[in-house]
Every structure is written in C-alpha cells, then in structure tokens.
Amino acid sequence: MVTEDLKKSDEKFLGQTISSVIDNLILQIDDNYVIEEPPAVPRGISGTLLNGDRIYLFIQRGQLPLTFKSGDNLKLYTDLKVIGIKREHGEISTCYGEVLWQLSC
C-alpha cells in the first residue's frame, strides 16, 4: 500500500537533525516555513520535495524562542532533532512520530 511505503520511508528521519533531513530529502524550504503552535511557539518547518510532496518536520516544544523573538530564524533549527514528520502526497497524508495536533493525519 502506498501509505505504508511512504510511512516507512519517512520513519528513518526521526531522531535526525533538521539539516540532515533537509539534505537527504532535498527539501525546498517554504517562504513561510515555520510551523507554529499558538501562541507563536515554533514547532518545526515545512517545505516541498521535487515531486511536489509537502513535508512538515516537527521539533520538541520549547527549544526555540517565540517566533516574534527570532524563533523564525532557520539557522536555529538546523541542529534540532526531528520528533515527527508529516508528508502530503496528493490526497494521501502520512504521519509518523509526534505531529502537531493541527496537522495530524
């Protein structure tokens, strides 16, 4: 099944750094890349793969300053560990690990 194949391929990225996953996936970071948990708590980044899949990488809550206090600086994310990943592949969404409730599958 396509969903299980995508989930298995994404599972290996849990525990890796954000920069490692970006490099491995060749992830194109979005202009508005910060995933926020209200109010202004940075929880990850998002981007697009060359095939058009949308990827959301989640980090542990409380590791960065609030987004209005420089928490939207991509350099702050590079060494943080991925604790969850969501992929939107057409109409199919897969989630693995800890995904922010607003974006859960």
86: tokens are 């969501």
The amino acid present at 59, given as its one-letter code, is: I
64: tokens are 């960065």
Q: In what order do the strands lie in the sheet with 92-97?
A: 28-37, 41-48, 54-58, 84-89, 92-97
pLDDT, tens digit, 9 for 90 and up, residues 11-43: 899 999 999 999 999 999 988 889 998 888 999
Model confidence at 3, pLDDT cuts 50, 70, 90, reads: low
Quickly list H helices, the chain.
2-11, 18-25
Instruction: Please check whether residue 58 is in contact with residue 84, taking contact to mean a CB–CB distance below 8 angstroms.
Output: yes
Q: What is the pTM of this model?
A: 0.89
Give me the pLDDT at residue 53, please: 94
* Cα 9 to Cα 71: distance, rounded to the nearest angstrom: 29
